[in-house]
Structure 1
Amino acid sequence: MMNKPSFDAEQRRIQGAWFTENLAPNHGYAGAAYRIPPACRELNLAPSIRKAADRLFSAKPAIQWHKHANHGLSSQVCCLNFLLPFAAKPELLRRWVEHVTADQASEMLPIESDRAGQPWFVTFEWIGETDHLNEGKQGAPRKRGANATAADAAMLYRDVQGRNNLLLIEWKYTERYGQPLNPRGNATRRQRYEHIFRQPNGPICADAKVILDELFYEPFYQMLRQQMLAWHTEAGDPQIDRARVLHLSPSGNRLLHRVTSPGLRRFGDDAFDVFKSLLANPQDFISMSIEDAFAPLTAWPEADWYPWLRNRYPSLWAETEVPA
């Protein structure tokens, strides 16, 4: 009996087939069917968002493209393909936000008011205006998408109580983790985060039996930094009443759920449940599958990019469709 291919291997097969059918003769870069030349990375995006992505990423200060934006398994590209079309559809985005947060949202607000000469209701590689996490290097501004904690996507909305809510999104596709971070960077990590990661000065519960070094394993390290970014933005920005993190990943990527930090395994066997349990306000971290998060698109005629998404990422959709 043949072993079932891993999630990563299956996605490489699916994306290779899609690239071969849709991106020839540009596919096959570096001998992989699911890669295109770096200079052709825009072909990795849905045709309907290519110009918008170029405007958004090219405006100053520029947003950095990830190194493998020409790769069929790029999480950054996957995130853009699903979310960037919402940037021009604030009412549809409001309905989607209600679906993923269970909030009652009255309206979407521009997360960036005048980037590339227009408002954006969704943006990407968001780092905020203030260096809350002590990551900037002296004399040099932080870069969006490189060497600073950034949300893969971000949006801002007002709920029916009149509160402004910031939603930061962390997007995963085929990632999986195991080894600890390179210990050579731990001294810098401690210097930056030791005094801002735990209550009363951060999101981790004051009496959680955990030390900072136990979070120096992915995906915990990324989740911690995202949660600190949300917590300190809420605490320090008078325009934000609440900030939360929405973590999205495919349901089939079970390896992503492994508790990679030995010191955290006593709390459970699912990384996202364990991380949530460490927070002073667990409701500020939402973990959801991509399939569940985007199921409503199947019933929303206004989601005109759904057919393209379904064709490009056929395994990222639930078996059952939800009513409108």
Structure 2
Amino acid sequence: MGKYNVKLMYRLQEKKHHIELIKDNFFGNDKGYGYFGKDKKQYDFVLEDGINNLYEPIRNEVLKYFKENDIEWWGDNPDYPTGHTVSSQIACLNHLMFLRQKPTEVLELINGLERVEFTKVLPVPCDTDISYIAFETISDNSYLNEPEHIRGSYCTSIDALIYAEDINNEKWIIPIEWKYTEAYGDSSKDDKSLEDYKWRKGEHGKGKERMRRYNGLITKSQQLKSLENYESSAYYFEPFYQLMRQTLWAEQMIKNKKAERIKADHYLHIHVVPKANADLLGKTYKFSNQNMEATWRNMLNEQLKYIIIDPQELMSPIKSRCPELYNYLKIRYYDK
């Protein structure tokens, strides 16, 4: 059982797979049983040293990138990568960080989506050096009524962002949301519009604050469908809550491009989910009576702006260009 009241069969399978990889010395001399969580328990699928969780050729670059761009890490230590082997942040970095300064490969990756004909990728201007993929990206200014503005925490940030130009010389932002073993519940305690502050139970204070931030923006959104009542709607359950905020973020980036370093005319929202994660993809949500993709697509006006894709399919265009990376990903994430 996870934080959300669901049985995570895919997560269990992935943990077992990583325990076998640890035994086979895939992570070098790291034998697992690292500490994780508030109670600092040892787990066999958690590496002793989080650096071993990263594809070896990117390790130094990732540490430098997070430090120079003031990005917080997911997990117990905001200053260091987690040893949690089924972390989606780690999975995202293992797939994409190697390509960060390889514009030809990044262009092949996004043209492999077969949605827009892109002619070039552009450096994402929010980073301290040249990045054709930026991680944990936030806007220069806050447009979603959120108080904090830190890369990687406390506000709407994008797991990975690509900035590109199409055949008409128009600019696109391509926000990527990366899922791995996540799955979510749909009971009242999972409802983010009804959540209480810890110090004031029964008043749904946290939920009301969220709705104050986002409801007006949803109503004005061109992509998100307006509702008469947003409370307890799909927008306030994960993973749709994240997708809603990222859609608003992309729209606001375009609307306010004069005030942003990233100046875009269009966006394409990419949702990476392993096709084997039936806990996330196959669940029927009570509030929609549909699975994850159908539920989300019912909230959207323009279907072509949202792409859901398996990570192996996403990476297939660069398979021959980056054989060592692809082989690492295949052993770790694709082969079972």
Shared fold per TM-score greater than 0.5: yes
Tell me, what secondary structure is at the counterpart of 1:246?
strand
Mapping of residues 1-324 of structure 1, within 5 Å: 6-20=9-23, 21-23=25-27, 24-30=29-35, 31-37=42-48, 40-60=49-69, 62-67=70-75, 69-112=82-125, 115=128, 118-137=129-148, 142-178=149-185, 179=187, 180-181=190-191, 183-184=195-196, 185-198=206-219, 200-201=220-221, 203-206=223-226, 211-214=230-233, 215-238=235-258, 239-258=263-282, 262-265=286-289, 269-298=290-319, 300-315=320-335
CA distance in 1, matches of 2:217, 2:144: 8
Give the direction of change, closer, same or farther, for the CA distance of 1:259–1:223 in structure 2 (3 Å limit): farther
State the one-letter code of the partner of 1:275. Answer: W
Percent of residue pairs bearing the same amino acid type = 22
8 Å CA contact retained: 1:112, 1:121: no
Shift of 1:113: 6.1
- For 1:204 and 1:210, the matched residues in 2 are separated by 14
- The 2-side partners of 1:130 and 1:285 are apart by 24
Matched to 1:247, the amino acid is H
**Which region of structure 1 is more displaced relative to structure 2, 276-285 or 93-102?**
276-285
Give the conservation status (yes or no) of the 8 Å contact 2:30–2:47: no
Give the conservation status (yes or no) of the 8 Å contact 1:170–1:246. Answer: yes
The answer (yes or no) to whether the contact 1:217–1:260 under 8 Å persists in 2 is no
* Shift in Å, 1:186: 0.5
How far is 1:209 from its partner?
6.6
Name the SS for the 2:218 alignment partner: coil
- Give 1:244 shift: 2.3
Which whole-Å CA distance do the structure 2 matches of 1:190 and 1:202 have between them?
18
Uncovered stretches (5+) of structure 1, i.e. residues with no partner = 317-324
TM-score under structure 1 length normalisation: 0.85
Which letter maps to 1:22?
F
Q: Is the 8 A contact 2:127 2:134 kept in 1?
A: no
After superposition, give the CA deviation of every residue in 1:36-91 in whole Å (9 maximum; x if it has no partner): 23xx211110011111111210014x101001621000000000000111112111
With the length of structure 2 as denominator, give the TM-score of the two structures.
Answer: 0.82
| Paired amino acid for 1:9 | L
Kept in 2, the 8 Å contact 1:17–1:33? The answer is no
What is the one-letter code of the residue matched to 1:251?
Answer: K
3-state SS of the aligned residue for 1:92? helix
CA distance in 2, matches of 1:72, 1:165: 33
Q: Is the 8 A contact 1:173 1:253 kept in 2?
A: yes
**Unmatched tracts of structure 2, length 5 or more:** 1-7, 36-41, 77-81, 197-205
Secondary structure of the corresponding residue to residue 100 of structure 1: coil
Tell me the C-alpha RMSD between the 2 structures: 2.1
Distance 2:325 2:74 in 1: 23
Q: Deviations over 1:263-306 (max 9, x none)?
A: 333xxx222222122222222211112232223333x2345411
Between 19-28 and 66-75, the greater mean CA deviation after superposition: 19-28
Q: Residue deviations 1:222-252, cap 9 Å, x none?
A: 1111111111112221421102210001001
Contact map agreement 1:218 1:260 (CA 8 A) in 2 = no
SS at match of 2:225: coil
* Cα separation, 1, equivalents of 2:275 and 2:228: 29
Deviation of 1:258 after TM superposition, in Å, equals 4.9
2:30, 2:52 → 1: CA distance?
12
Give, in whole Å, the separation in 2 of the partners of 1:203 and 1:132: 16
Give secondary structure in 1 for the equivalent of 2:301: coil
Alpha-carbon distance between aligned partners in 1 of 2:315 and 2:270, rounded to the nearest angstrom: 13
State the shift of 1:262 in Å: 3.1
Q: Which amino acid aligns with 1:213?
A: S
